[in-house]
Homo-oligomer: A and B are copies of this chain.
Amino acid sequence: MAALGMLGQRPGSGYDLMKILATTLATVWSASQSQVYTELVNLADAGLIDVVDIGPRGRKVYDLTPAGRTELIRWLVQPADHEPRRDGALLHVVFLGEIPAAEARTYVVAMTDHADAEVLRLCTLRDSYRWPPADDNEMYGRAALEHALRGEATTAEWGRWLIELLDRRLRSAHPPAAAGGEPPPAAG
């Protein structure tokens, strides 16, 4: 579906689509090189896109057929079916109880740092746009970027919240050496 959408904005080759996936779509959708080309063949077989031009190096420029545009619109207006959630980083967090709180803290700090770095990167990207947007497509692209940005910021904030929780737990377990968990080795 991503290929159909990209070709809906402007005709292009598989190589072009790959570049879009690596840049503007990077925060939203990913696909491997091999997948892009197979998908283009499949879409062409289904009559949704067509080769409209052949350039140097065998470059094949695709564009939507009328059927393809119809299908794109049909897909667009129907609400997205809710994909199964899978967040590897969060899965780690769920099982962090298996290791000592100090090590768990390290993990959460790394997660938070990464989220902060992403916020910075996406902010720079966002500020590189001119405002107001030149066209609708650009506006929606920016909106998606904004979503990613806010998501990372939220993760960073959540990380700091969790770190503080862990710190409280560590503080109350070390100097007084009273509350549960394993007792410190040199406690008595």
State the A residues within 8 Å of B (CB).
1-2, 5, 8-9, 25-30, 72-73, 75-77, 79-99, 101, 103-104, 106-107, 110-111, 114, 135-137, 139-141, 143-144, 146-148, 150-151, 153-155, 157-158, 161-162, 165, 181
Contacts and interface: CB of A to CB of B under 8 A. Distances in A.
Contacts of A96: 76, 136, 140
A94 B150 contact: no
A107 B25 contact: no
Nearest to A162: B143
B72 A95 contact: yes
Contacts of A157: 150
How many copies of this chain?
Answer: 2
9 contacts: A28-B86, A28-B87, A75-B92, A76-B99, A77-B103, A77-B106, A80-B92, A95-B137, A97-B136
B28 A97 contact: no
Contacts of A162: 143, 146
A115 B173 CA distance: 38
A83 B94 CA distance: 17
A12 to B, nearest CB: 14
Nearest to A8: B98
Contacts of A79: 107, 110-111, 114
B151 A94 contact: no
A57 B136 CA distance: 59
B154 A77 contact: no
What are the 5 closest A-B residue pairs judged by CB atoms, nearest first?
A30-B84, A97-B136, A5-B95, A97-B137, A80-B89
Contacts of A99: 73, 76-77
B98 A73 contact: yes
A156 to B, nearest CB: 11
